[in-house]
Chain A
Amino acid sequence: MVRVDGKGSGSLVEIRDLDKKYYRGGEEIDVLRGLNLDVAKGEFVAFMGPSGSGKTTLLNLIGGLDAPSSGSVRIAGEEISALKSRKLAAWRARHIGFIFQMYNLIPVLTAYQNVQLPLLLTKLSKAERRKHVEGALELVGLSDRMHHYPRQLSGGQEQRAAIARAIVADPTILLCDEPTGDLDRASGDEILNIISRLSKEFEKTVFLVTHDPVAAKRASTILHLDKGTLLERTSDGPFASQGEDAAR
């Protein structure tokens, strides 16, 4: 279930009256205005919209990377905008996996070591960490390249390593910020196949920011951001604006 009217309840993600303002050169910029969103567990939601419409900002707010100017972001019943830095970091480690457009792997670490990074924060033993890392790399089809450095991998392989890093700690939510934006169509399709599989088979709740309508079609729900508010449509349906009863 995905709703943008603020009338849902008990969803995994509950966003209410979310405002986000930036100040640039003394000017106030309203990026998000009174945004509401309810997303149930296992949903695959794509955010589309023009540049500067607030897609990445919304993703950052859901992931606890940024704080809202007002409103609330509740994930699994927890108000994350109220969490202090230390608790928020721990919460992120437990619940959120990030996939970036530019992969953001650490160049001096091998694929294995990059994927292992979130697990260093846990109390898992070295052997347990190895089991998790190898499992994640196998899932993305990178077992044979696990000891290669990012510079020794293709763009698609780097992104697969980044996905493995995002899922290795078994997070509830995957936040994907234009994960195919820097890849050719074939590599992009491979990445989208993996993300779709994570949503369908492993019931990960996925938020995908993209400019690519083909990529967006992989999502069960496409939400358009325009002037700081959300418009919803299904993969093949019409838009319904925020405020209308858009529940399906």
Chain B
Amino acid sequence: MKYLHLILVNLKRKKIRTALTAGSFLAALFLFGLLMTIKTALGSGVDVASANRVVVRNRVSLIMPLPIAYQEQIRQIPHVEEATFATWFGGYYQEMKNFFPNYAIDPETYLSVYPEYRFDEEEWKAFVDDRQACIISPPLVDRFKFKIGDRVPLEGTIWAGTWEFNVRAVYDVKQREMMTSELWFQYPYLEERRPFFKGTVGWYVVKVDDPASAVTVAQQIDDRFANSPYETKTETEKAFAASFANQIGNIKLLILSIGSVVFFTLLLVTGNSMAIAVRERTGELAVMKTVGFTDISILSLVMAESLLVAAVGGGAGLALAKLFTLAGDPTGGMLAYFYLRGEDVVLGIVLALAAGAVAGFLPAMGAMRLKIVTALRRV
């Protein structure tokens, strides 16, 4: 602690340079925080995917339907506990920019397959009893101020026209990562009104009795419907969620690429600042060595300056990112789980310190190797 004052006065001697260097850490770590938040949001489906569920879709494409008759046939396959289904509706509320995922579900089987969704029993009963009922997620309540009893009109994009739904329930989830911005409604209502694709569903979700049998069950389902007009492609829920997320692109690679460029630039900026700072103080460092500071203590002091700038700037950047994410999903539903996780904050701090250490290392080595006599001659 007795050296802290030395570190601080050295950082304060060029306030603008120190502020700009810390600012570059702030910007980089703010960006890092946002990128990690987006990555988490996009991958949240993968993270919470259950090992004992498989997803069955049309072999041609997810947008092609499957016959509703498959439900009973899937249930007959060994190790299958239950099979539910859903159909993408694709409606929007008032304006296209208000889009959020909405789909029709089978109210009789959906909760058996997805027990992690929690409901007030009364609300769930009200949903089941009302064919025009819908269930919404808490982010929709926050975003549109919907409440139980509201009548919500959605404009259909696949099946045209205004579809009206009665809000009967708001679900809750066990894990925060599961929180998405969604609206579910009863499949019978869709089936009743839609003019085409009748008797079909979008996809099935099948619950198996043991995660170890998931792959076997998937194979059996695909074999069962092979060479039919509606061949299936069945995969684990995790694989399905991953392929869904990858439709946007290789998010991890994208984030890694952006992050790498930002951190490399950060290294150059900080390294340059520290190198200039050390060069300006050559004589002073020589004097410090003259009065007895060892090479290692000089190295440590310069490294400490770099690390302190990194910690303060990086910490502020992560704090800002956290504040930003606390305001909620800025996309209006596409990234419902918009949350900067604690482990990502820790990773950010580690990366900032690592960048500070790497950037400060060469200038610190230069300071450490300084020949006193040569340096004093320059004063």
Contact = CB atoms under 8 A, between A and B. Distances in A.
Contact of A90 (B3, B294, B373): B294
Given A86-B296, A92-B292, A120 B373 contact: no
Contact of B291 (A85, A86, A98, A113): A98
Interface residues of A, number: 27
B3 A108 contact: no
B10 interface: yes
A92 B291 contact: yes
B150 interface: no
Interface in A107-128: 107-109, 113, 117-118, 120-121, 126
Q: Which DSSP category, helix, strand, loop or mixed, fits chain B's interface? A: helix
B337 to A, nearest CB: 48
Q: How large is the interface on B (under 10, 10 to 19, 20 to 34, 35 or more residues)?
A: 20 to 34
B295 interface: yes
B283 A66 contact: no
A98 B290 contact: yes
A93 B297 CA distance: 13
- Among B292, B376, B379, which residue has the most Cβ atoms of chain A within 10 A? B292
Given A60-B373, A109-B9, A113-B5, A65 B290 contact: yes
Nearest to A92: B292
A6 to B, nearest CB: 25
A66 B372 CA distance: 8
Contacts of B6: 109, 120
Contacts of B373: 60, 65-66
B284 interface: yes
Given A65-B373, A66-B373, A117 B284 contact: no
Contacts of B376: 65, 100, 104
A165 interface: yes
Contacts of A247: none
Contacts of B294: 85-86, 89-90
A82 B51 CA distance: 69
Interface in B265-317: 283-284, 287-297
Contacts of A102: 379
Interface string A81-109: 00001100110111000101010101111
A90 B289 CA distance: 10
A166 to B, nearest CB: 8
Contacts of B379: 100, 102, 104
Contacts, number: 64
A121 B283 contact: no
A108 B292 contact: no
Interface string B1-32: 01101100110110000000000000000000
A121 B293 contact: yes
Given A104-B283, A108-B9, A120 B289 contact: no
Contacts of A121: 291-293, 297
Nearest to B289: A89
Contact of A118 (B12, B291, B372): B291
A118 B295 contact: no
B3 A120 contact: yes
A87 to B, nearest CB: 9
29 contacts: A60-B372, A63-B290, A65-B290, A65-B372, A66-B372, A85-B294, A86-B294, A86-B295, A89-B294, A89-B295, A92-B291, A94-B292, A98-B290, A100-B287, A102-B379, A104-B283, A104-B376, A104-B379, A106-B284, A107-B13, A108-B12, A108-B13, A109-B6, A109-B9, A113-B5, A118-B291, A121-B291, A121-B292, A126-B2
Given A106-B284, A117-B288, 19 more contacts: A60-B372, A65-B372, A66-B372, A66-B373, A85-B294, A86-B294, A90-B292, A92-B290, A93-B291, A94-B292, A100-B376, A104-B284, A106-B287, A108-B9, A108-B10, A109-B9, A118-B291, A165-B291, A169-B292
Top 9 A-B pairs, shortest CB-CB distance: A93-B292, A89-B294, A118-B291, A108-B9, A104-B287, A65-B372, A66-B373, A108-B13, A121-B292
Interface of B: 2-3, 5-6, 9-10, 12-13, 283-284, 287-297, 372-373, 376, 379
Interface of A: 60, 63, 65-66, 85-86, 89-90, 92-94, 98, 100, 102, 104, 106-109, 113, 117-118, 120-121, 126, 165, 169
